[in-house]
Amino acid sequence: MGKGTYSRAIAKALGVPHISTGDILRREVAAGTKLGKAVKGYMERGLLVPDSIINLVVEKRLSQPDCARGFVLDGYPRTLSQARFLESRFPVDVAVLLEAPDDVIVERVSGRLVCPRCGATYHVKWKPPKVPGICDVCGAKLVRRRDDDPEVVRERLRLYRETIRPVVDYYRGLGKLLEFDASIDSREGIPLLLEKLKAFRAARPYAQAVHV
Ligand SMILES: [Zn+2]
């Protein structure tokens, strides 16, 4: 999967902001804002945050000037009602469905480690720190985010597959769905996906939604 890796690379290549609803919500939780307090319980249990909250967050972010020329959304829309909301306010050119087997996803996600002090990210297999469990940058002890625990990831995947089907069908019906096998290494996958996106994009303003 590696949707963060894919969507960041695509945003960079297109010169538009990469917008991860997960990142926005985690920042709010860390900052202890009213929004953060409202979503904390859902996120810790690996559950989907209610559409009404997510839609507001996305609308606020996409209304900012840097999104006027386009954007890449990561992790949104995840439900049919989110997709309909997005399409009514900020219609996208293409929705990318990155696909990979559950085991591949669990291995990737549960291997992630983050530094609680400086925010540096690692992966036990693909980007290990020089000293196991210790941040290269600042020397703090690395942690796995609660929502990256294997059982939390599996539950999130189960919910995800259940809710994503109508979203996939919706974008397919609009002729905006691009399905992509993301189980290959992202170094090969990213140029390939960029090529496919290029072929997909029409001459209209280039809003892009990328989600998994
Ligand atoms: Zn650090």
- pLDDT band for 202, please (50, 70, 90 cuts): low
Distance 207 CA to ligand 1 centre (A): 34
In the structure encoding, which two tokens stand for residue 173, read together?
A: 């019906």
Q: Is there a contact between 10 and 210 (Cβ–Cβ < 8 Å)? A: yes
Cα separation, 97 vs 178, in Å, equals 6
**Whether residue 1 has pLDDT greater than 80:** no
Provide the CATH topology of domain 3-102+164-211: Rossmann fold (3.40.50)
Domain boundaries along the sequence of the chain: 3-102+164-211
Q: List the single range of 9-23, 36-50, 76-90, 127-141 with lowest mean pLDDT.
A: 36-50
Cα distances (Å, whole numbers) of residue 75 to 25, 82, 141, 156, 204: 11, 11, 28, 12, 24
Count of positions (residues) in the chain: 212
Ligand 1 center from residue 134 Cα (angstroms): 8
- 164: amino acid identity, one letter: I
Neighbouring residues of 99: CB distance < 8 A, sequence distance ≥ 6: 179, 180, 181, 182, 183
Backbone angles phi, psi at 79, to 5 degrees: -130, 165
Q: For helices 80-89 and 51-62, what crossing angle results, to 10°?
A: 30
Q: How far is the CA of 55 from the centre of ligand 1 (A)?
A: 32
Which residues are known catalytic residues?
3, 78, 112, 145, 156
Question: Which residues pair with residue 99 across a beta bridge?
Answer: 181
Interval 161-199: pLDDT, tens: 888 899 999 999 999 999 999 888 888 899 999 999 988
CA of 132 to the centre of ligand 1 (A): 13
| Strand 95-99 relative to strand 208-211, pairing | parallel
3-class secondary-structure state, position 178: strand
Give bridge partners of residue 19 from the DSSP assignment. Answer: 73
Nearest-angstrom CA–CA distance, 208 and 6: 13
